[in-house]
């Protein structure tokens, strides 16, 4: 009996569909038509005699067999990419594509000092920077790197600190502060309008504070709930209420007086950002160059 062995394109196609949850979006990533991608997946499923994806008119999701397949294939495929990139890079220097997964605020933090600086130095390398709030398995979903707070980095990953500790800041517009006053303690927030942020898992982002060893969690209230920090920042600047945002995202507005910071002594540093990645047997030249630049950034 002949054993079926899928080709690299078929494996890449399955990973792209699993990651995107859409044949149309996956086809764009793969540089092929939606029909061609659908036929590739259909051929893979037929040869495996197993349905890998459940399809509806609105979404595509892995079946139980599909999840097992993706979990098993992801790390192997990444090793294959690494081996190919390593061979190519020996003669051509750093090239290819690096995929990075990060929180949106973390992506903004590293964009100029790391990603753009890297692209200028290595013009043959492309970077695909994907931002999302949920934690992902970067190996299973085909990413080379992840960027998260140190406390969120999986224990089996190699981590590189990317610099200064991260802090949150409670801010409001000058107009809001003039009208409603400045909260003196976290408990005072219960008397204020606050702009809340909903996390990807549906939960509301908690407002947590600490001072002199005392920890406080406040379930703030307000008329507006959003699911993206940049929208919350715009809403806070308009005067609708107070917001809890990353310090570096509002540093310019605080400095120029567009926003007023309150409860600063209740918002200590929460740890630094880290670039993390799995141990690789055959890292590409681009992968190695990126980790070297990240370490250089951390030492500045």
Reported as a single tens digit per residue, the pLDDT across 91-121 is: 567 888 999 999 888 898 899 999 999 999 9
Dihedral pair phi/psi, residue 22, rounded to 5°: -160, 130
The CATH topology of domain 168-266 is: D-Maltodextrin-Binding Protein; domain 2 (3.40.190)
> Which DSSP symbol is given to 2?
P
Give the pLDDT confidence score for residue 98 in this predicted structure.
Answer: 95
Contact at 8 Å (CB) between 225 and 254?
no
Structure tokens at 157: 């990953």
List, for residues 166-209, the tens digit of each pLDDT value.
889 999 999 999 999 999 999 999 999 999 998 877 888 889 99
pLDDT by residue for the chain (300 residues), tens only, comes to 456 677 888 989 999 999 888 899 899 988 999 999 999 999 999 888 899 999 887 789 999 999 999 898 888 887 777 677 666 655 567 888 999 999 888 898 899 999 999 999 999 999 999 988 788 899 888 899 999 988 889 989 999 998 777 889 999 999 999 999 999 999 999 999 999 998 877 888 889 999 998 999 999 999 999 988 889 999 999 999 999 998 988 999 999 999 999 999 999 887 788 999 998 877 888 999 999 999 988 776
Identical fold, 73-163+270-300 and 168-266: yes
H or E, element range at 278? none
Residue-by-residue DSSP string for 241-273: -EEEEEHHHHHHHHHTTSSEEE-GGG-----EE
CATH class (in words) of the domain with range 73-163+270-300? alpha beta
What CATH architecture does domain 1-62 belong to? Orthogonal Bundle (1.10)
Each residue of 81-92: pLDDT tens digit? 767 766 665 556
Contact 130, 100 (CB under 8 A): yes
Helix, strand, coil fractions of the chain, as percent rounded to 5: 45, 25, 30
User: CA nearest 148: which of 203, 97, 100?
Assistant: 100
Report how far apart, in Å, the C-alpha atoms of 188 and of each of 175, 221, 262 are: 18, 12, 11
Task: Kindly report whether the global pTM for this prediction surpasses the value 0.85.
Answer: no
61-70: long-range pairs with CB below 8 Å, 24+? 61/21, 62/18, 66/14, 66/18, 69/14, 70/14, 70/15, 70/18, 70/140
- Domain locations in the chain? 1-62, 73-163+270-300, 168-266
């Amino acid at each position: 009996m002949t054993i079926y062995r899928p080709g690299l394109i078929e494996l890449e196609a399955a990973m792209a569909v699993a990651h995107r949850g859409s044949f149309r979006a996956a086809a764009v990533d793969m540089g092929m038509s939606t029909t061609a991608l659908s036929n590739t997946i259909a051929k893979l499923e037929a040869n495996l005699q197993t349905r890998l994806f459940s399809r509806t008119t609105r979404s595509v999701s892995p079946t139980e067999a599909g999840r097992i397949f993706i979990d098993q294939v992801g790390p192997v495929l990444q090793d294959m990419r690494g081996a190919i990139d390593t061979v190519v890079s020996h003669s051509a220097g750093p090239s290819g594509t690096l995929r990075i997964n990060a929180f949106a605020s973390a992506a903004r933090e590293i964009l100029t000092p790391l990603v753009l600086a890297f692209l200028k130095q290595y013009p043959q390398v492309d970077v695909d920077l994907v931002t999302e709030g949920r934690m992902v398995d970067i190996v299973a979903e085909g990413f080379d790197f992840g960027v998260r707070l140190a406390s969120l980095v999986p224990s089996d990953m190699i981590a590189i600190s990317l610099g200064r500790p991260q802090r949150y800041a409670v801010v409001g517009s000058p107009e809001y502060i003039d009208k409603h006053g400045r909260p003196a303690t976290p408990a005072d927030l219960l008397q204020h309008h606050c702009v809340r942020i909903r996390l990807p898992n549906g939960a509301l982002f908690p407002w947590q504070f600490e001072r002199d060893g005392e920890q406080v969690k406040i379930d703030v209230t307000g008329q507006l709930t959003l699911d993206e920090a940049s929208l919350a920042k715009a809403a806070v600047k308009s005067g609708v209420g107070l917001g809890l945002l990353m310090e570096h995202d509002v540093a310019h507005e605080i400095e120029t007086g567009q926003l007023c910071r309150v409860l600063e002594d209740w918002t200590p540093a929460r740890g630094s950002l880290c670039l993390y990645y799995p141990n690789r047997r055959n890292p590409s030249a681009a992968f190695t160059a990126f980790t070297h630049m990240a370490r250089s950034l951390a030492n500045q």
